[in-house]
Structure 1
Amino acid sequence: MYFRIVITFIAIVILSGIVSFFLSGQLFKREATAQMLDDLLQTGQTMIQLLKEPDLKKPELYLIRMANQQNLAVTVYDEIGGARKYDTLSRDRIRPIPDATVKDVLSGEIYYSANRLMPVSPEAAFIGLPFERDGQRYALFIQPNFEIRNKQLLLLPLAVLSIIIGIGSIMTFLLSRFIVHPITKLAEATNEMSKGNFDVLVPIRRSDELGQLAQSFNHMAGELRQLEQMRQDFISNVSHEIQSPLTSIRGFSEALKEPAIELQDRLHYVDIIETESERLSRMVDNLLRLTTLESGQQPYPKELFDLDEELRKVVIVNHLLLMQKRIEYDLSLPKIKLLGNKDQLFQIWTNLIHNSIKYTPQGGSIRIQIQKDGEYVQIRFSDSGIGIPLQDQPHIFERFYKVDKSRDRSVGGNGLGLAIVKRIVDIHQGKIELESQPGKGTSITILLPCFAP
């Protein structure tokens, strides 16, 4: 890519110089021809003054010197048709003067081969001036010698073009490195990332498109690094969570093989195996549910339903658990309709009331209320449970995150319930808020868009 850029820039410089040279020549041809005719007129008048000078010895020598210095073809015609040249140039490449033009000048006219309205090429420009000497009439014709002038004029644009190409090539060589360098760094970083190294960063501090690309790459590397860390944590957590019940199941299964074990202990071991199996089954179900929610591939049809009725239903379903712990509950559920996926949202209500029951001590209380909050419907689950420490609150919606591992195991939790709640809320374009104080309880507020009055 570096050499392609260099070659492309050099080709552009050369092509631009050539095109500019020819276009400028065409644009200024008229002005150049007119200026040349003016110069020839002044030169001719000077020569005529020399020819008329009576005290100047051999004026012809001065004319020849002047003509040669300025690369001019100078010819003087007399009345009888004689012609004498005042230069040392060969006439092979000098345009001949028509006889009719010579007669017109001998008659006293000043002749221009072109004017500003009817320009010709500079090679065809010449001028004719009449003058008298010793009672005789003469015609002085001056033409530029373009065989020499073209060589001189060609050297200037060639020199300019060579300088432009030289400077342009050097600048292109240097600037191309400046342009290609960040791309090279990006390629190296991409190669490192393909090997699994997500700690790579592109050290580019620019505000142009390449700088924005580098910033996007660094942001992508950071996201992939975080995703890789989450993947490793996920594998570690899943392995740990699965290994724990499997270890219990295997241990108590081996204990059941002992022939001397009493019936009461045997039944206790069977209950433990059943409990661990159920916990393992719930964890797998939650993992599958969370994976399905995060994939976004399954359609989630929405319907208009009575939100208050759904919340009453979840309380009725869990009424036995509430009674077992003698938990009082307070419902503030005015009539409100909501547009959403009723089954997914019921999973939210189920997970939240289960958490409230788990972490609320005997004789505690739970409050569920809904109300309008601008463009949202606010659903709040509050309990008088043990609360969540401040340092744990930012992580409470992460998968497998547990505030107290031993406490969670005693109540059968696996750290996936609130992660499922958070994902369902995100699918419904809602918000979730947490308020908790250790020893005073927890309140979780769900804000869902109010699609219906």
Structure 2
Amino acid sequence: MKLQTKIILTSTALLFILLVIANSSIYFIFKKTMEDNAMERLQAETSNVTNGLKQTSATVKQANLLRAYLPPNGMIRILPKSGGPLVVSVTDQTKELQDLPYSYYSNEQTTIKEDDGHLYAISHTPVIWTNGEVVSLEVTEQLADVEQSLQTLKFILLIASLVILIPTIFAGRLLSKIILRPIKSLIHTMEEIQVSRTFKKIDLSSSSKDELDQMANTFNNMMDLLEENYKKQEQFVSDASHELKTPLTVVESYANMLKRWGMKRPDILEEAIEAIHSESLRMKQLTSQMLVLAKDESQWKLHMEHVDAAAVCNQTIKHLEQAFERTIYLNIKTDHPVVTADEKRLKQLLYILLDNAIKYSEKAVEVTITKSESFMITVTDQGIGIPKEDLSNVYERFFRVDKARNRETGGSGLGLSIARKIVEAHSGRIEINSQEGKGTSVTVSFPL
């Protein structure tokens, strides 16, 4: 069932129920009021008949007296304790009332009864008859005016309900169109996206500032985000393919060389094995880095603990000094160089920052540990620096500053992307300050 049909049916059904409840309440309240008025009127007439019987002399026939008090559309009967009525007083227009069932009542009471689809008000009161017997005086009146009023009220309520329901159906249809217009536009746009395989947005000709307008804006923002992520993914795949293409080409070339002359020339064999081994390690490192970037921080399962940052820095510096035969200074400007972090990730972060500093600088590198409002580790080099226009791009995957595109120094361009993810996973912050030709300073801050 369509949403538009559901809206129309639901709104119409709810209104119909409310109308039934309201109309029923009006009808029964009106009926009760009319019946109460009729009973009060009949009680007064019965009291008049009783008083008349008491004050009338014995010479006047009781039957004639009852006819004098007879209601225009009613009947008077004298009912003994047993047997049929002693007296029945009716008019020519109310002869059919004689067939109404009767009962003797020893007390006063007035009721409303329905017989054969007609309403009757019946009042009973005990009186002493001429023979000294206590009988029940029954005064009956057909409530034709009440029946007519109730029929008129039914007709009015029915017409009023139709007058309300019919426009409501059309109003519900119009309202559903207004509500569903942006939803249909959303569906149409999504179908176009599915067919054309392109990113499209909902055309917002006017702003209604409601939830539907908010939904459309949210969808458009989502499309912008998806398109941006899709382009980044395409760029990432393209860059990854490009980065892997070179080592694969080198491996293939040396493999072909080995097939031709490798067994006959030891120098080519050694050169090919060394090149293949080197390129294999580079592909392994590149693949490992890409897998790190592909994972979300929530999947890293950090083991947070109190880590002696000074000891970690000393160990890392020692390894890199031996590997690259470079000088790296460590300055500790705090008495308690302990930080809450994952020790393995902290080591990985230091390797990335120090590796970059060593690659882009021929002079000594300095590592500084400080603690104030946060725990900070700063890696400073005196190398080629980064142009100001490139500072905002250095965290992008596979990005390398133009002066560093030589593969011997430039690396894969993934290091700072991984470094930023490590810092963000620790709820920290990374900042780079650099001047071209003077050097670069990278500061990572961890919350205390």
Q: TM-score, normalised by structure 1?
A: 0.70
Superposition map of 1:34-49 within 5 A:
none
Superposition map of 1:16-415 within 5 A:
16-31=18-33, 143-194=143-194, 197=197, 199-203=199-203, 205-251=207-253, 257=260, 274-291=277-294, 293-294=295-296, 296-320=298-322, 323-324=325-326, 329=329, 331-334=331-334, 335-360=336-361, 362=362, 364-374=363-373, 376-404=374-402, 407-415=405-413
Deviates more, 1:184-193 or 1:334-343: 184-193
Q: State, as a whole percentage, how many aligned pairs show the same letter.
A: 25
DSSP-derived class of the 2:245 partner: helix
Which residue is 2:17 aligned to?
15
Change (3 A) 1:328 1:140: closer
Cα displacement (A) at 1:239: 0.7
Instruction: For 2:228 and 2:444, locate their aligned partners in 1 and report how far apart those are by CA, in whole Å.
Output: 27
Deviates more, 1:219-228 or 1:421-430: 219-228
RMSD, aligned CA:
4.4
Q: Indicate conservation of the 8 Å contact 2:35/2:146, yes or no.
A: no
Which residue is 2:49 aligned to?
none
Which residue is 2:424 aligned to?
426
Q: Residue 172 of structure 1 aligns to which amino acid in structure 2? A: G
Q: Residue 371 of structure 2 aligns to which amino acid in structure 1? A: K
Instruction: For 2:328 and 2:89, locate their aligned partners in 1 and report how far apart those are by CA, in whole Å.
Output: 137
DSSP-derived class of the 1:399 partner: coil
Change (3 A) 1:215 1:123: farther
DSSP-derived class of the 2:182 partner: helix
Change (3 A) 1:444 1:37: farther
Change (3 A) 1:166 1:40: farther
Cα displacement (A) at 1:269: 7.1
**What per-residue deviation string (whole Å, max 9, x for no partner) do you get for residues 29-65 of structure 1?**
5555567789999xxxxxxxxxxxxxxxxxxxxxxxx
**What per-residue deviation string (whole Å, max 9, x for no partner) do you get for residues 354-377 of structure 1?**
1111111x3x34221122232x21
Cα displacement (A) at 1:254: 5.2
Corresponding pairs, count: 389
Cα displacement (A) at 1:227: 2.1
Instruction: For 1:355 and 1:269, locate their aligned partners in 2 and report how far apart those are by CA, in whole Å.
Output: 28
**What per-residue deviation string (whole Å, max 9, x for no partner) do you get for residues 307-365 of structure 1?**
111112211111146645xx5635235331122210111000000001111111x3x34
Change (3 A) 1:28 1:145: closer
Change (3 A) 1:437 1:341: same
Q: Residue 421 of structure 2 aligns to which amino acid in structure 1? A: R
Change (3 A) 1:434 1:27: farther
Q: Residue 289 of structure 2 aligns to which amino acid in structure 1? A: N
Q: Residue 331 of structure 2 aligns to which amino acid in structure 1? A: L
Change (3 A) 1:140 1:91: closer
Instruction: For 2:98 and 2:239, locate their aligned partners in 1 and report how far apart those are by CA, in whole Å.
Output: 99
Cα displacement (A) at 1:125: 6.0
Instruction: For 1:219 and 1:421, locate their aligned partners in 2 and report how far apart those are by CA, in whole Å.
Output: 29
**What per-residue deviation string (whole Å, max 9, x for no partner) do you get for residues 428-451 of structure 1?**
12111222222222222111122x
DSSP-derived class of the 2:299 partner: coil
Cα displacement (A) at 1:192: 4.2
Instruction: For 1:94 and 1:387, locate their aligned partners in 2 and report how far apart those are by CA, in whole Å.
Output: 120
Deviates more, 1:159-168 or 1:223-232: 223-232
Instruction: For 1:396 and 1:208, locate their aligned partners in 2 and report how far apart those are by CA, in whole Å.
Output: 41
Deviates more, 1:10-19 or 1:23-32: 23-32
Which residue is 1:61 aligned to?
none
Cα displacement (A) at 1:81: 8.2
Q: Residue 162 of structure 2 aligns to which amino acid in structure 1? A: S
Q: TM-score, normalised by structure 2?
A: 0.71
Q: Which runs of 5+ in 1 are unaligned?
A: 42-71, 102-110, 128-138
Q: Residue 399 of structure 1 aligns to which amino acid in structure 2? A: R
Instruction: For 1:366 and 1:401, locate their aligned partners in 2 and report how far apart those are by CA, in whole Å.
Output: 23
**What per-residue deviation string (whole Å, max 9, x for no partner) do you get for residues 205-240 of structure 1?**
454444444343333323222221122111100111
Change (3 A) 1:426 1:73: farther
DSSP-derived class of the 1:444 partner: strand
Instruction: For 1:93 and 1:317, locate their aligned partners in 2 and report how far apart those are by CA, in whole Å.
Output: 121
Q: Indicate conservation of the 8 Å contact 2:333/2:371, yes or no.
A: no
